[in-house]
Structure 1
Amino acid sequence: MKQLALDLQLPEPCSFDDYLIGPNMEAYLALQALADGGGSEGCVYLWGGAGAGKTHLLKATVQRAMVNGLYAHYWDAATTPLDELAHGYELLAVDHVDGLDEEGQIRLFGLINAQREAGRMILTAGRLPPARQLLREDLTTRLGWGLVFEIGEADDEDKAALLQHRARARGCVVDETVCRWLVTHHSRDLGALTRLLDQLDHAALAAGRPLTLPFVRETLREQTPPSVA
């Protein structure tokens, strides 16, 4: 059996059309309005656990804003420290604010102030609500200035259905049984599952076999390192 092609990285979908709304309709509609320039509040904070879909919503908002002609940008604070280049966007989305160091927190505090004073929009996201973030008190106050939405996870059946839809949109023919099994036995993060399906599809093509549940189990079992006694 050939190893999975771990370097296979197709772009993840990040539009509102490809977002599994679940319990997040209010946030979904508010962010669409924000991207359309018609939101009543220009400062929005999203919070929720890993894999809930916060990053997808941030990227979808930026993508829609750019389609509408706005100067918008997604900034992942977990991988790129905030600097002066973050200023000046009509809509700025800053992800993973809970991981900011002291300097990054000061920069974000200034960014929120600058965006509001200029009548521009800022969208931020982290794992905890503002009051529970282990950040500077003045920053947590700013994060709670505008709209705050908890982003909850959809149920497993909806995730499996969307995973199958994403797979087919990327040219991967997969049975819903495989998608349900992956959601319940492997991961609940749709981004990670989408990438995994890409890899499994590539492995199935290389092996000349259909992408069935037995093939998936066999392939993932061979990828799991043996336990050390």
Structure 2
Amino acid sequence: MSSINPKVSAMFFDQIVTVMDHNIAWEKIQNLLCNLYGEATYNCWLSSLRFVSSKNGEVLLSVPTRFIKEWVTVHYMEKILSLWQNEDKSIHSIDIQVTEEKNSSSDAITRNREESNHNLGSPLDPRFTFDNFVVGKPNELAFTAAKRVAESIDPIPGSNPLFLYGGVGLGKTHLMHAIAWHIVNAPSAKRKVVYLSAEKFMYQYITALRSKDIMLFKEQFRSVDVLMVDDVQFISGKDSTQEEFFHTFNALIDQNKQLVISADRSPSDLDGVEERIKSRLGWGLVADINKTTFELRLGILQAKVEQMNMYVPKDVLEFLAGNIESNIRELEGALNKVAHTSLIGRSMTVESASETLADLLRSNHKSITIAEIQKKIAEFFNIKVADMHSNRRLRGLVRPRQIAMYFAKKFTQKSLPDIGRSFGGRDHATVIHAVKQIENFIKTDSSFADEIDQLKKMFK
């Protein structure tokens, strides 16, 4: 009777222990992913991940579809690897294999639909739902129109196509995704929805031409129930793509199918787009999304903080809402950046937020000239602009002049010598003295500080 080699037995035992340890580690990582990205995102993209094995520093995970594998690889792989390395420093890479799971027939149908839509269109972001969209006066019409289209089984007369337009980062894509999610998740989810960018539409068309599959391309796009094309201004100047888009548009309208289109400008302002296309894009409901107001920006920040389940002081939120006016993406990015300062032990204050976001704040401030500052301060204090340049030392002139120098330092990129020269040829030391004087008064005199706050609003 042969005896068991003790070394082999020990190695086998070590392997079992390692697998057990990694199973425990994976459970911990799953919980961290759920907390980090939220339950909705986790359930949509990460819950189907399964731990398979680990060998020689490589972890093998599995997912049920190629679509999920590609999405996880692009959007979450770096974070998953980082979490694994926190648990086991020997882990250097992660691979994902596709393993079809034997689920119910309804699950299989859902996966097949996801695969089909992925091949034809683009993935939907689970964060972009109607519930997560903050409504205010600038986007109220667009939101209401989008909701009506999403909830209606058949196209609404006068709303086909629905054309959404507005500047970058104001919520067009969010509403497009929200419409698609609402239709896909409807109890009777039988309508085929395809969402994609105009750029992807063009590249799929070019690919079909090269592979001589143009009839398949036409059949695919003409068989959808709801076609959603984002950033349609991209087809400007692309004649062949416009021709195909025109025929696709007409075919779907003739079949009483819904179209939802977005762009960064109204149909009539789409330069480089054929008149017949601009005319058809304006057939239905054209809803613009205007620049956000302070109240809407504050509401968006408050909703974001609630989603993140964290505390951010009210004055910090108001500071961000008042200073980041460009678009919602930059606003949310600024909030994330400020919120992460707490992870390194810094308190969240207006001052720390101002330091953290210095570059972003500079780019959001309007381009203000020293001449404009001098003019507005002179008007406020009822003095002449010439008094800003004079050497007269009257108290009624010195203080407004110092305030103007303070704002010149705060709101322009001019050097101290340049600022001094703009105030009657004064040197940089005079400018430094003026700035310090105003800063001291702000700290020690509350009524003066209020006056400065009032003046600041003239430059926003």
Quickly name the TM-score band, shorter chain normalised.
0.7 to 0.9
Code of the residue aligned with 1:16 in structure 2: it is F
Q: Does 1:118 align with 2:255?
A: yes
Residue of structure 2 in register with 1:99 after alignment: 234
With normalisation by structure 1, the TM-score equals 0.80
Moved more, 81-90 or 157-166: 81-90
Residue of structure 2 in register with 1:83 after alignment: 204
Residue of structure 2 in register with 1:190 after alignment: 328
Cα distance change of structure 1 residues 128 and 217 upon mapping to structure 2, 3 Å threshold = same
Kindly indicate whether the alpha-carbon contact (under 8 Å) linking 2:164 and 2:286 is maintained by their aligned counterparts in 1.
yes
- Deviation of 1:74 after TM superposition, in Å, equals 2.5
Cα distance change of structure 1 residues 218 and 17 upon mapping to structure 2, 3 Å threshold = same
Residue of structure 2 in register with 1:72 after alignment: 193
Cα distance change of structure 1 residues 210 and 13 upon mapping to structure 2, 3 Å threshold = farther
**What is the identity percentage for the equivalent residue pairs of Structure 1 and Structure 2?**
24
What pairs up with 1:204-219 in 2 under 5 angstroms?
204-205=342-343, 207-219=344-356
Residue of structure 2 in register with 1:40 after alignment: 156
Alignment equivalent of 1:30, drawn from 129, 145, 149: 145
Which portions of structure 1, spanning 4 or more consecutive aligned residues, are displaced by more than 4 angstroms? 7-12, 222-225
Moved more, 105-114 or 140-149: 105-114
Moved more, 27-36 or 59-68: 27-36
Kindly indicate whether the alpha-carbon contact (under 8 Å) linking 1:83 and 1:107 is maintained by their aligned counterparts in 2.
no
Which of structures 1 and 2 has the larger relative contact order (alpha carbons within 8 angstroms, sep 6+)?
A: 1
Q: In structure 2, list runs of 5 or more residues that go unmatched.
A: 1-74, 80-124, 206-216, 363-412, 416-460
Q: Does 1:179 align with 2:317?
A: yes
Kindly indicate whether the alpha-carbon contact (under 8 Å) linking 1:168 and 1:174 is maintained by their aligned counterparts in 2.
no
Task: Give the total of aligned pairs.
Answer: 221
Kindly indicate whether the alpha-carbon contact (under 8 Å) linking 2:324 and 2:330 is maintained by their aligned counterparts in 1.
no
Q: Does 1:132 align with 2:269?
A: yes
1:156-193 residue CA offsets vs partner (Å, 9 max, x unmatched): 12211221211221233212322222232234412222
- Deviation of 1:140 after TM superposition, in Å, equals 0.5
CA root-mean-square deviation: 3.2
Residue of structure 2 in register with 1:63 after alignment: 181
- Deviation of 1:150 after TM superposition, in Å, equals 2.0
Q: In structure 1, list runs of 5 or more residues that go unmatched.
A: 1-6
Cα distance change of structure 1 residues 181 and 126 upon mapping to structure 2, 3 Å threshold = same
Code of the residue aligned with 2:250 in structure 1: it is N
Cα distance change of structure 1 residues 79 and 223 upon mapping to structure 2, 3 Å threshold = farther
Moved more, 72-81 or 151-160: 72-81
Code of the residue aligned with 1:112 in structure 2: it is F
Alignment equivalent of 1:17, drawn from 131, 154, 168: 131
Q: Does 1:109 align with 2:225?
A: no
Kindly indicate whether the alpha-carbon contact (under 8 Å) linking 2:227 and 2:258 is maintained by their aligned counterparts in 1.
yes
Looking at structure 2, the residues matched to 202 and 184 of structure 1 have their Cα atoms a distance apart, in angstroms, of 20
Looking at structure 2, the residues matched to 188 and 58 of structure 1 have their Cα atoms a distance apart, in angstroms, of 21
Q: Between Structure 1 and Structure 2, which shows a larger proportion of helix residues?
A: 2
Looking at structure 1, the residues matched to 326 and 182 of structure 2 have their Cα atoms a distance apart, in angstroms, of 26
Cα distance change of structure 1 residues 139 and 130 upon mapping to structure 2, 3 Å threshold = same
Kindly indicate whether the alpha-carbon contact (under 8 Å) linking 1:65 and 1:72 is maintained by their aligned counterparts in 2.
yes
Kindly indicate whether the alpha-carbon contact (under 8 Å) linking 1:157 and 1:180 is maintained by their aligned counterparts in 2.
no
Looking at structure 2, the residues matched to 199 and 220 of structure 1 have their Cα atoms a distance apart, in angstroms, of 8
Q: Does 1:220 align with 2:357?
A: yes
- Deviation of 1:133 after TM superposition, in Å, equals 1.4
With normalisation by structure 2, the TM-score equals 0.43
Cα distance change of structure 1 residues 200 and 78 upon mapping to structure 2, 3 Å threshold = farther
- Deviation of 1:80 after TM superposition, in Å, equals 6.5
